[in-house]
Structure 1
Amino acid sequence: MSAPLGVGVVGLGAMGASHVDTLVTQVPGTAVTAVHDADAGRGAEAAARLSAREATDPLDLVADPGVDAVVVCSPDPTHLEIVLACVRAGKPVLCEKPLGVTAEESAQVVEAESAAGRRLVTVGFMRRFDPAYLDLREAVAAGAVGRPVLVHNVHRNAAPHPAATDESVVVNSMVHELDVLPWLLGGAVTGVHVRAPQGEGLRDPQLAVVELDGGRVLASVEVYLAARYGYDIRCEVVGTDGTVALRPPGTLVHAVAGSQGTPVPADFRIRFAEAYRRELLAWAGAAREGGATGATAWDGHVANLVSAAGVQSLHSGQSVAVPAASVPELYR
């Protein structure tokens, strides 16, 4: 019987804690062997509960011989240094988005991985593992709606993160749709125009019109972080022969307090629990073979390029072209 895959987890906030729980309870053949968090108390508590080593520094965790692969859930500005250390150490790494806070940073990861000559980096775009999105993609690829011409996306949260900014609405939230669209349709994002209603404070909601393949397909993306009622994700593809839309998971209908309807998840961890489980299962399987699966470092870099164009558009009020980029050999 082979030894379990030793996983080190950097960052034990909401996402990191959720990944730890999933690894421990739903990913056979793995063991969380080391943890790190900027909050020493939280790190110590998790280490004791998991019988894992508490690393005082994330780079120390990467270098730990008991760590075979790394999950990065720490704040965005820390991602680049940790992921580059993993690539240098030859250790597979699952990094929550974004891969870097700028396209220049994510380009460094692409260059490092290309130089290493093998894929080690997976970016945490979990929607690629969501059963509803997978069914939607399969239907589109099978020609169920003819040629896609429009896509409508809705991304609503109950409340914004306290640290949310005008820019992070694009870079940390809308980025999921900006990644899903080319994956769903098989094209490239070539332009984006982001607007927000006039108001005070955080520019939320935001509405983007996204061009794919030079305008051959148009997509709307609504992101509303302060929608209050819950976490609501929708996507509809409109084609020349019909439409297809993903249906939120769950079939229960509740009749409570004078109204009837289906429950709305409180947050992303509930809505995408199955996607995260599948993502970690696939990642751990690839990591045991010394490789990676799912969204690549190149996918993460492309998402950063599109996000940067979206932020530029938000500030300028104009449509912004997304620069074409040549795919490195490793990702073809």
Structure 2
Amino acid sequence: MTIRFGLIGCGIMGADHARILRSDIAGAELVAVHDMDTGRAAAVADGNCRVHSTAEALVADRGVDALIIASPDRTHAPLTLAAIAAGKPVLCEKPMAASLDEARAVVAAEIAAGRPLVQVGFMRRFDPGYRALRAAVAEETHGRPLFLHCVHRNAVGPDYVTSDLVLANSCVHEIDISRFVLGEDHARVRVIAARPSRRAANRRPLMMILESASGVIVSVEAFLDAQYGYDVQGELVCEDGTLSLDPHPPVSRRHGGLDGHGVEPDWRGRFADAYRYQLRDFVAALNGGRFLGASAWDGYVAAATAEAALKALADGNVETVDAGERPVFYATRA
């Protein structure tokens, strides 16, 4: 069965989702789009699908089976709630909600609907490297995990991004993927801020230290102004050895007296496969398969952990992460 998608938000991420749907996903069709910027919406539609003047009209479109939400963060929860009310499955970009109360509301609405409808766009769960780390933990191929060291660097962050947004919008990826790799929740969090880079006085490079429920330590360096490119690293330290993500593209270069590897300019190249696998599996789930991506509960837990991290950044203390018990409704999700 072909799934007819509606896309809300036609910026960088929305345009990329549209491209992937059209070029790489069998059994899916982009039939409708909306963006507050009508020019962007028209460019993504490219004369091949309907352009709605409002997000509400797109959600109500009877010719749309499922939704992708890639609009501004503040709209994610309201639009996800609208999709649930309409009975339409939704892939919502992270963060799922702008507040913990909104995240709770999404979880409650999905449970009330009685069937899985929400997947959150934590695409790293589909990256082959992270999935290999998760398998190593589950199978204890290198003994039990002790540390997970993460690095998250961007070339140049937007001017509006503050230290708080570094935690809420960037580190939230590491919050989720470390839970996924380790297979357990975080119990405590501390955040240490370095001095500001001369290139970005309004934010500070951060070191977030998470402790899992069983005592695994997760370190996360977040630096949005590294200049040289987009660089995500991960090393899992276990009792009997270590495993690391491959930080390099598949091709090395020798040119002009230099021998080395290129660095991706942003996340789209680094996680191109993950984005593609994420959409493929979402379509497969809608056709009767199992949802393998992050659930609304995972989105809520990420929000709860980020809120504790924000408090830790503000007060300098080690903060407890308390998301509560996982509802039975989500027991079968990955």
Matched, 1:79 2:76: yes
* Greater Cα shift, 22-31 or 258-267: 258-267
Instruction: Spell out the pairing of 1:18-97 with structure 2 (5 A cutoff).
Output: 18-47=16-45, 49-97=46-94
Q: 1:79 to 1:194 in 2, by over 3 A?
A: same
Deviation at 1:285, TM superposition (A): 1.6
Please list every run of at least 4 consecutive aligned residues from structure 1 whose deviation after the TM superposition is greater than 6 angstroms: none
Separation of aligned partners in 1, 2:174 and 2:27: 32
> Does the 8 Å CA contact 1:120/1:291 hold for their aligned counterparts?
no
Q: 1:302 to 1:276 in 2, by over 3 A?
A: same
CA deviations over 1:225-256 (Å, ceiling 9, x no partner): 00110111111111111111111353321123
Deviation at 1:219, TM superposition (A): 1.1
**What SS class does the counterpart of residue 146 from structure 1 fall into?**
coil
* Greater Cα shift, 203-212 or 8-17: 203-212
Specify the alignment match of 1:265 in structure 2. Answer: 264
Separation of aligned partners in 1, 2:186 and 2:268: 27
| Counterpart pick for 1:161 among 158, 181, 195 | 158
Specify the alignment match of 2:285 in structure 1. Answer: 286
> Does the 8 Å CA contact 1:121/1:292 hold for their aligned counterparts?
no
Deviation at 1:106, TM superposition (A): 0.6
> Does the 8 Å CA contact 2:249/2:263 hold for their aligned counterparts?
no
| Counterpart pick for 2:119 among 118, 122, 129 | 122
Specify the alignment match of 1:296 in structure 2. Answer: 295
Give the partner amino acid of 1:298: W
Separation of aligned partners in 1, 2:165 and 2:142: 33
CA RMSD, Structure 1 to Structure 2 (Å): 1.5
**What SS class does the counterpart of residue 233 from structure 1 fall into?**
strand
CA deviations over 1:273-315 (Å, ceiling 9, x no partner): 0000000000112123498441000000000000001111111
Q: 1:57 to 1:292 in 2, by over 3 A?
A: farther
Matched, 1:98 2:84: no
* Greater Cα shift, 234-243 or 195-204: 195-204
Specify the alignment match of 2:207 in structure 1. Answer: 207
> Does the 8 Å CA contact 1:92/1:291 hold for their aligned counterparts?
no
Specify the alignment match of 1:255 in structure 2. Answer: 254
User: How many residues end up aligned between the 2 structures?
Assistant: 328
Instruction: Spell out the pairing of 1:227-242 with structure 2 (5 A cutoff).
Output: 227-242=226-241
CA deviations over 1:158-193 (Å, ceiling 9, x no partner): 110233121110011000110011110112101111
Separation of aligned partners in 2, 1:248 and 1:281: 24
Separation of aligned partners in 2, 1:22 and 1:50: 17
TM-score w.r.t. length of structure 2:
0.95
Separation of aligned partners in 2, 1:6 and 1:324: 35
Specify the alignment match of 1:224 in structure 2. Answer: 223
Give the partner amino acid of 1:162: D
Q: 1:291 to 1:236 in 2, by over 3 A?
A: closer
Specify the alignment match of 1:313 in structure 2. Answer: 312
> Does the 8 Å CA contact 2:161/2:203 hold for their aligned counterparts?
no
Separation of aligned partners in 1, 2:248 and 2:278: 17
* Greater Cα shift, 280-289 or 302-311: 280-289
Gapped regions of structure 2 (runs ≥ 5)? none
Separation of aligned partners in 1, 2:42 and 2:289: 29
CA deviations over 1:26-46 (Å, ceiling 9, x no partner): 001111110001101111232
Specify the alignment match of 2:138 in structure 1. Answer: 141
Separation of aligned partners in 2, 1:71 and 1:50: 19
